[in-house]
Amino acid sequence: MRNIIAGIFLLSALLMSCGIGSQVDRLKALEQCSFGFQSADSVYLAGNDVPKLISRGEAGLLANPSLVLAMLQRKIPFKARILIQVLNPGQEEAGISAFEYKIMIKDVQLAEGYFDKPLVVKPEGGTTLVPVKIDTDLYPVLSNSRNQKAIADFLSQQTEQIAVVTLKIKPAFDLGEKKINYPGYIDISREISNRQLKSFLAAR
């Protein structure tokens, strides 16, 4: 979220004049927050429980008959629920009223959606958990054999492997009964290892 301040200052005059300055202050405070992946549950690929696939050594797409069938049908539904922890070390309350989001690994978009509940993080070490749902078709990603191998290797390797996951959010400000969208997305990136991912999946 390093670029958030520049965008906020460009909008501050307009937003202050609209009477939503406190929302701008909370968004500024959100820039100082740290974000981490707390857990992942209800993770299914083409109807298969992903942790069970991994535990049986079936991380490769062609290791499971139902995944092969899904590939032939050109549709591989992927569903998951991710809990993101937001920690506020600052002195001011942080938050936004709502936001659009996208989840990316490298340049590949895994999911997009809209979180329509206020996000509020208390100051001085306050934390909150944000549930983000993924419901997408991974066929465009997994139809590429290189992507298949990269994912299988990441999940099956005993040595630590690192991937960068990016959460892109577009905040919204309340103005009466209307919402004003932030121009563009704010990127929140974090490295995650295959060991961490497996521990997230195991903590269901």
Tokens of 196: 């961490």
Domain boundaries, the chain: 4-202
Q: Is the pLDDT of residue 201 over 60?
A: yes
CB count within 10 Å of CB 142 equals 19
pTM of the model: 0.70
Which of 67, 76, 59 minimizes the C-alpha distance to 136?
76
Burial class (CB in 10 A: 0-12, 13-18, 19+), 186: buried
Which of 81, 5, 79, 7 minimizes the C-alpha distance to 44?
79
The pLDDT tens digits for 110-160 are: 778 888 888 899 999 999 998 888 888 888 888 888 877 777 777 777 778
Q: Which amino acid is at 20?
A: I
Q: Which residue has the tokens 């590949």?
A: 108
Strand order across the 126-137 sheet: 48-49, 34-45, 77-88, 126-137
Read off the pLDDT band of 33 (50, 70, 90): confident
The pLDDT tens digits for 43-102 are: 888 888 887 777 776 555 556 788 888 888 999 898 988 888 999 999 999 988 888 988
Q: Are 157 and 194 in contact (CB under 8 A)?
A: yes
* Integer Cα distance of 25 and 93 in angstroms: 8
* Integer Cα distance of 137 and 77 in angstroms: 4
What does the pLDDT read at residue 123? 94
Q: Are 169 and 196 in contact (CB under 8 A)?
A: no
Hey, which residues does 45 pair with through a beta bridge? 48, 78
Q: 26: part of which helix (H) or strand (E)?
A: helix 21-30
* Integer Cα distance of 119 and 101 in angstroms: 13
Q: 180: part of which helix (H) or strand (E)?
A: strand 178-181
Beta strand residue intervals within 27-125, DSSP E:
34-45, 48-49, 77-88, 94-96, 98-105, 108-115, 119-121
